[in-house]
Amino acid sequence: MVSKKKKKYSSGEGAQFMTRKAALKKLQLTLKDFRRICILKGIYPREPRNRKRAQKGAGGIKTLYHTKDIKFLLHEPIIWKLRELKVYQQKIRRARAMKEYGKMRKYFRDYPDINIDHIVKERYPTFVDALRDLDDCLTLCFLFSTFPSLKRVPRDQSMLCRRLTVEFMHAVITAKALRKVFVSVKGFYYQVELEGQTITWIVPHHFSFQPQNKNDVDFKIMSTFVEFYTMMLGFVNFKLFHTLNLVYPPKLPASFSAEKDKDLIDEHTYVAERIAAMNLSLARVEGANEAEELPEIDVFPTEDEDPKKLEEAKLEAEKVKKLKTLFKGLKFFINREVPREPMVFIIRCFGGECSWDKDHFVGATFDESDETIAYQIVDRPSMEKQYLSRYYVQPQWVFDSVNARTLLPINKYLMGAVLPPHLSPFVDKIKDQVYIPPEVAQMNNPDFKPLDDDQSGTDIEEASDEDKEEESEEDSEGDADEALAKQYRDEVAEDSPSGEDNDDEDDNDDMDPQKKKLAKEKKKSMAVTTGVTYKEHPYQKEIEDKQAFRLREKLVRKKHKKLYKSMKAGQEERKKEIWLLRKKRRLHDEKVKEEKKAEKKKQRMQAFEAATA
């Protein structure tokens, strides 16, 4: 029996991959609908090991997908919904062309909606899975919540993002889950801890918005991502609110409802309403208690239990417990020039109360004249009217106190003071090649002293003096050894009686000359000699270490050499980055020194002119 010849590319990488054109043909979808379904289902292009085989011998670079992913899409119910939408769009176009407006209104009324609940449940079977993938979701939703009315961004979508983000921030406030904050050029970085998962996202600064060109940003693709993320965030919010015994959906101001949307045109009004919503306490489920404090860490005996790790975990738990009540019982008043949204969110996350001028913004809970206010946050050099019962601090004090997990001294953050550098808390302690600013090094080690240009000369002189002292010590040690050896020989000569010496001499005369020679050599070898210190040359040692390292590098296996080279390249890049950051810091410090010198010189000149006038 003759076996059938196997067709080329019917197995292996040729059968595993499919081009985008073939996928569109198989699914009978347009490119626009295919992109949408791929974003919703989480299917993305793949990179094959052998592109020529995967492309079935075709040249060039094509977008490839796994065949099993495309077959998986064949059974997706949304595809039928997209085809139904296409039919309705054709009917609407025909009715508009024929001027049958009654039919057109009917088609718009019966226009089918796409429900993606089942996709969220399919992609995230558990709540923890959804929390792990929440970083991008929150960043994009917070970005869209700042967008005003645009042609390419549906107004309903940005309104939904605003409502969902405010709900999530309320859940974080109630759970007291905020851990780190940082202000950057990009915006405000926040990090929270929910259900043991760390979530980090960015909230952009509120500036006057300018619409982008269509060529720069594809808002349609971003809008499709937001369509899925809003549904996902809705699921997460629902679960969080029920875990915290809060009523869902919460009762937010009327501006977040769709009916009131057309009445509010000013974007500043939307922002003010959102901040006012965050300053309110949410309704709890009837009969439910407040969230209980976390119990103490249970210690179970294990084989590889490390007492240091257990101690570190206990200390961390205590620090987090204190952090949750950092601003408890404190009242803050926020001046109108300070960004209110991050301040309200941070202060309320740690148990504090805040308010602002009720004449400028809605949602104020107490007036500026309240005597119980502990801190007033100001971002201006001076104020005419000041109260003696409170501290006037700059906004950075709040951020730095949260990152330090304690209320920092306010002397560096007073109104009009030159602020200390705002250090990022998002530093990976596991990585070894990381640039550490002098302030962080000083915080970790109080004895740390950064080397200035003025100090470098004195350090060199001190080092040379130390070398001279070491040399003199070595010489004195050598002289002392020699003196001890001489003293020992003298004592031996004194202790030995003259008779014994004569006997030895007589015996030596009777001995063979060869034996006599050997005895002399033995006596010489037993004698105490002056010790010579061995000085190790650092440059020579460095050369030897490099040679030994090269030999070890040659022992790396052939299959691991590519990985090793990439690791070495990464190390070199990090070294370069650290060097550049150090150079930037040095130039900055030099500039500050020059400015201070110029300021002092100017003051001296002014004082001299005033004295001579």
Domain ranges of the chain: 13-109, 117-208+216-278, 330-426, 554-612
Place of tokens 């969230």: 291
Q: What number is the average pLDDT over the span 65-74?
A: 92
**Cβ proximity of 41 and 76 under 8 Å:** yes
Question: DSSP state, 414?
Answer: B
In order, the DSSP letters of 344-372 are HHHHHHTT-EEE--TTTSS---S-TT-TT
- CATH number listed for the domain at residues 330-426: 3.40.50.10190
What does the DSSP assignment read for 280-331? SPPPBPTTPPPPPPPPPPP----TT--HHHHHHHHHHHHHHHHHHTTTTT-E
Neighbours of 612 (CB within 10 A): 6
Looking at residue 515, what is its pLDDT?
A: 80
What are the beta bridge partners of residue 355?
333
Looking at residue 261, its pLDDT comes to 45
Dist CA 294 CA 145 (whole Å)? 33
User: By C-alpha distance, which of 379, 411, 383 is closest to 394?
Assistant: 379
- 526 vs 369, more confident: 369
Confidence of residue 320 (pLDDT cuts 50, 70, 90): confident
Mean pLDDT of 307-313: 79
Q: Which of 101-110, 263-272, 372-381 has the lowest mean pLDDT?
A: 263-272
Q: Is a pLDDT exceeding 70 seen at residue 158?
A: yes
Nearest partner of 202 among 179, 181, 216, judged by Cα: 181
340-349 vs 155-175: helix crossing angle, rounded to 10: 30
CA distance 338 to 394: 9
Amino acid 149: pLDDT: 66
Q: Are 373 and 390 in contact (CB under 8 A)?
A: yes
pLDDT in tens, 464-479: 444 444 445 445 545 5
Q: Are strands 331-334 and 353-355 parallel, antiparallel or unpaired?
A: parallel
The whole-number pLDDT of residue 451 equals 53
Amino acid identity for residue 572 in this structure = E
> pLDDT digits over 432-466, tens only?
778 888 877 777 676 666 654 444 333 434 444 44
Report which of 161, 164, 144, 160 is spatially closest to residue 152, judged by C-alpha positions.
144
Residue 287 — very low, low, confident or very high, per pLDDT cuts 50/70/90?
low
Q: What is the mean pLDDT of the chain?
A: 81
**Residue 490: predicted pLDDT:** 58
Tokens of 343: 């301040």
* Distance separating alpha carbons of residues 545 and 409, to the nearest angstrom: 48
Query: Exposed, middle or buried, 482 (CB in 10 Å: 0-12/13-18/19+)?
Result: middle
- Interval 190-206: pLDDT, tens: 999 998 899 999 999 87
Please report, for residues 35, 144, 152, 201, 430, the alpha-carbon distance to residue 160 in angstroms, rounded to integers and kept in the order given.
Answer: 23, 9, 16, 18, 39
According to the model, what pLDDT value does residue 332 have? 92
Q: Which helix (H) or strand (E) holds 190?
A: strand 187-194
User: How far apart, in whole angstroms, are the C-alpha atoms of residue 475 and residue 8?
Assistant: 85
Decide: helix, strand or coil at residue 50: coil
For a pLDDT cut of 90, what percent of the chain falls above it? Answer: 32
Res 268 pLDDT > 70: no
Once rounded to an integer, what is the mean pLDDT over residues 124-141?
Answer: 93
